[in-house]
Every structure is written in C-alpha cells, then in structure tokens.
Structure 1
C-alpha cells in the first residue's frame, strides 16, 4: 500500500495516516458497498475488487476479480476469483470463506452458481446451481444485485434479482435466500417495487434476530420487460422494511414518505443491534439527515408516519447536515460518514454513538477531503473496520478510481 499524506490537510487530526491500497494505473479498483460483509472479525483481512466501480463490476469484464487485502502484511493483495461473472461476494462470519455468485444468467434463463472459496484461496467448491425456475414459481433470476448478505450464524445467504421473462411488462423483482447446508433456495418475496433492495441481514447473534433482513422498496418505479429500469423511484419515494428470512413478520422502519422526508436509499444496521440508521432528504429544512429507528409493525407504506415508530435524529447537533453514505463498527459505537456537497469538496467525518434511540452522534471529528469527483462510478462510500479503528473509502483523485484506507481514527 502507498502512503498518501498529501490527502491530509490542516484540519486533519494529528496522527492520522492515509494509504492508497490499490495502485494499478490503468485499471480502476474499488471497495465493495458500505454495508457489504467483507471483513474478518479480527479486522486484519478484508475483500475488495479490481476493474470495478463504486457500484460493482460487469459480468462481461474478464479483468474483474475479488482480492483479499491483508492489512497485517502491508496491505498485500491476493486474487480470490478468476471466473467471468463473479459477483455479490460475502465473507463468512467466521472469516474462513468467501461466498460469491457466478452470473451466467440471461433474462428468462441461463445459470446462476453459488460458490465458496477459502479466504486463503484454497478449497473452492460449488454450493448451489440455479438453472431452472425457482422452487414454487415460474421465475428465473437475472440482473443480479451486486451485493449479497450472509446471516450472522453463517447458515443462509440472500441475493436479489430480476424475475422477468423478457416479454411480460411489469415483471417482478425478488429476493432469494440460499440455505448453505442444504443448497436449497427460497424465493422470499417478489413484486415490481423490489428493484433496488439493498438486502442486509441483521448482524445480531441472537438466533431469532439474526433471521431479519433489512430491505428497501422503491415505490412507483418503472422498468421494461427485460428489466431495464427507466425510473428508480417515484411518488412519495422509497420506504424501508424488515422481513424474516422465511418470508414472515414484514415490518416498517419509520423513515420517509411523509411529504417532506424521503429515503435516500442508504441505510444499515447499527452494528449487531436491532437499531438501524438511514440517510434522508428533507424539503424543509433543506437537509440530508441521519435518522435512527427500529422495526415496528407494518401498517401500510407510511414511512415516518408509522404508528409507534421510534425516530432519533442522530445529526441534530451537526450544523446544516448533508450526509449520504456511511458505516458503523460491529459494536455499534462508532460511525464514519461522508458529508456533501457530493463533489470534489466532499469530506469524511467520524463520530461516536450514544444511547440508542435517544442521543445524537457526538465527538464529531473531521478527517480529510478525498477529492473524488463523486460521480456515480466514484462515490466515496466510507465504512469502518469491525473494530472501528480504521476507515476505508474510494476516490478517483488520481484520475483512476482506487481504494483507500485511513488509520488512527
């Protein structure tokens, strides 16, 4: 890894260190998405990818690979995949395996393969193959979401996809759950409004709570018969739900859809807790706030107006908040976020959580300006190591998108 002290400025805290983890001059590299489960729990190793943008790689790109980064070995990089179409990687909670999918699907057909490989690159195995209709349906998966999510007990992995046949207008999107012991797959939920799910298993280690999946519903979206999205969301916007991974206990998060607040589409669990955080946009005041909440009974798609919903404005002590992308440590005590405007002046900040549901974020600390263009392919997408001591972000400040690390938080 390459030291980058030039990315620090006079506002950066003493002792902060910045490193560029990827350095190929003609191949863009990126971290996976903020909530992706890509770290070993000792915070020493994680997975990123080359020949990728901030929102994933291309299934037809032979250069796209997932790489293991060893932070205790100077950030050395080690290829873990070679297959064309490798996507949606997740590291198992015990840190032993990388699970990923090989996308050979096409609308209405093709093949989807779930694989695993040891994080040392050994013992590659095929776990499951989907080359026919999903059980109990006539649907075939395609247009895979570039992120999977794995349960904290390591027993199940979920992935969202398009379910159309290429001819039917208004075809659904859905969420698949794979049982890693039996290789069985279940279509958990489906419908036209599930085109951008951001599925995230709750990381609680409670045997019941770890069955919950955070999902995003994009109301009034439009797509053609082949799954090309022409409008991502409309009307009062998206809302966020939780569903148990057997398809039951559908709940609301109290965010958005009240005529003033809308969900940006960035949310995550607060560490291993059952609290979650979302970035929102409000018309009055014109801000992008951070709102904490807990799942509550579904009473319609009413968002912030959900009866009994608990809301906590985490950003209320930060002047003129404009927050977009963020992550927490596994304990749910530390928080790393970008702050707008989303251009080359966007900045990184770290803060501490207080009591869930009550306290605002505190101990705010400016870190640095990543100098990224912040266009869609080069979003900063900051996140923390599980132990909360190290932060990670993307930037194209060099002219090519690369992955970075900031140490000494």
Structure 2
C-alpha cells in the first residue's frame, strides 16, 4: 500500500439508493460519487449485503444509513482499519411513531376490524347493519392506565417511553447500559426496573429496543413468557431473532401472550393466530431515509477530512479540533507503548507535536497527532514507512 494522504479528490460509492439530500453533503469539487468504482475512499450503504465484497486498498470507511450493521463484515473491517459508522437516532422518530401506532391499533383490534370490514364489499345497503352487528367482535382495550415495559432506553426506547407517559400509561424501563445522554432525556416519572424479570412480571405491554447479540438472541422464550402477565402484548421492532418463534407460537396458542406485533414476519409466525405482521416498515418514511442519509454522509465527510470519529461501531469516538496542521491518523492494536513508538518516530524527523489524542476500544485503538511544523512532502514517505514498521500498526494516513 502506498502512502495515504487525504487531500486529493475523494470517491464515494453507494450500494443502495441513498437520498439525494445525503449525497449533497459531499462537495462536488472535492468528492466524486462513482458507484462503479471498486476501490472508493468510502461507501454509503443501507441494507446491501457486504459480506462477499472484496474491499479495495483505498477504502477508509463505510457508513450505514441506519442503525443495524449486520449486513457489514465489521470484524474484517476492524482488522483492516476501516471505520464502520451507523446513524443511531436518525430514524428514531419514525420507529417510535409506528410502535405507538401499533400499540394503540392492536389494543383496539383495529387491524382485524379493518380486515373484516373489507370483506363487506358488494353487500350494498346491508353494510351498515352488518357493521353494527359485527363490531361487537372487535371490542378492544384502552391503553390509559396500563403498564408499558420498555427494554432498551436508547434513542428509540427513550422516545417511546416518554410519549407513552404522555398517553397516560405507566412506564417501566430496563437498560443496564443506559448512557448519560439518554438518562438526561428520560422523564423522571419512568420507573426503573432493577431486573428484566421485574419488567416482565409487571407489564401489560412490552416493547423491545436492543441490538441483536449473542446475549439477546432468543431473549423472549418460554422461560420468560412464564414470568409475564397473561394476555400480554409484545412489540418487536428491533430484530426478529430476539424472539424464539416456536416458543411465542405456543404462548400465543395458549393465551399467555395475547398479541405479538412484529416488524419481521417469517413462515412460523405468519401461521399463528394473534400475530400482527408488519412488513419491516419501522424506518420506512421519507423523513427517516433522508435523516439517515444526511447523518451518514456528514460522519463520513468529517472523518475523511479531519480523521474525527463519531458513531462508529468498531472504533472509539475520537475528536481532536482540526486546525489545518498536518495530521497523522493511526489505527493500531491496543497494546502498551504504541503511542510512545509513534511519537518517537515523528520526533526522529525533528517534527514537533502540537496536539494529540488517543482512544481505545477493546483490542484496538486510534491515535491522532497534529504536527506543529510545516511538513515537507518529501518527509511523508519516510515517516509513513517508519510508522508502518512498528509492530501492531493496522493502518496510517496523513491529513
């Protein structure tokens, strides 16, 4: 790999239709959108499966215009020093609105009622009488005064919890990893469950907003259904695999679970009564797609131009105010004395360090160093080679 200096025109490739408002973030004098380029500087993607793509040597970052990154080989990217961004919160309002819509509509049996009303076509003057006679089959429940359990109080869960309070529901929240920023945005009237079992046992409705991991896969299963109230409604707008399909089918059949509202239909749940299948519409609004595209593009642009990282799923958030000085950005293993070796290599070229930052995340770390001197372009190849000789360096670029 040759020396990587990021002051040339940059190439962006998209692997899905990305909203033009997002692509407009990239200044056309400095960026080229080229969807045929197999070795771009960065990629913007939505749901395209990237696991079989061979990455070019110029690729520095991938931005997912959405929250989940299951379609991106994150581990392989990390090993190559490719930053993977997502856009947490950009589609939160869209998902929140659909969660609350589904909660109310299912409580009033609206979906079944509408489907039945459509069967009355061609009944002519009898429709009014049939409606009055049939509506008793769709008597529902009001949500006021009922208890909603919210698992996961991130961008979406916090919005759902706060708005459910405004609908006069009692709200229980559970999130052992809640961030300080989220905590500030949560109403003080939300009861914090100390255990997830407490939430299961006391909720009339349960909505889940957590990522799919080895720990959360199948978290809704026959054991937890036993803890829940009878006739509980479960809403899943996160990932289908959070729920054990066979176990919830049994719970729906015996009435332990009253309704299962899922944004992820599959063959098993479609065959079961009292399932409300939604065709993955959680973030499907024009506003959400634009918000995600703009946020993804801005994060990529900032990283490519300054090295600063925000909302990466595989490297730490890192920010160093960019003043226009020559910047060295290095991804490396999180082992002792890496920063010392990098700064020593810089000092060997009689270069002064103006500012620096180092952040780590798991097995990897990221170091940015601003050089005080005006750096002669002839120095860069030698400095680049010297830093690359250090063990445990993943990648380096100059900005």
The question of a shared fold, defined as TM-score above 0.5 by the shorter chain, is answered with no
When the two structures are superposed, what TM-score results if normalisation uses the length of structure 1?
0.22
- Larger fraction in strand: 1
TM-score (normalised: structure 2): 0.23
Higher relative contact order (CA closer than 8 Å, sequence separation 6+): 2
Comparing both structures, which one devotes a greater share of its residues to helix? 2
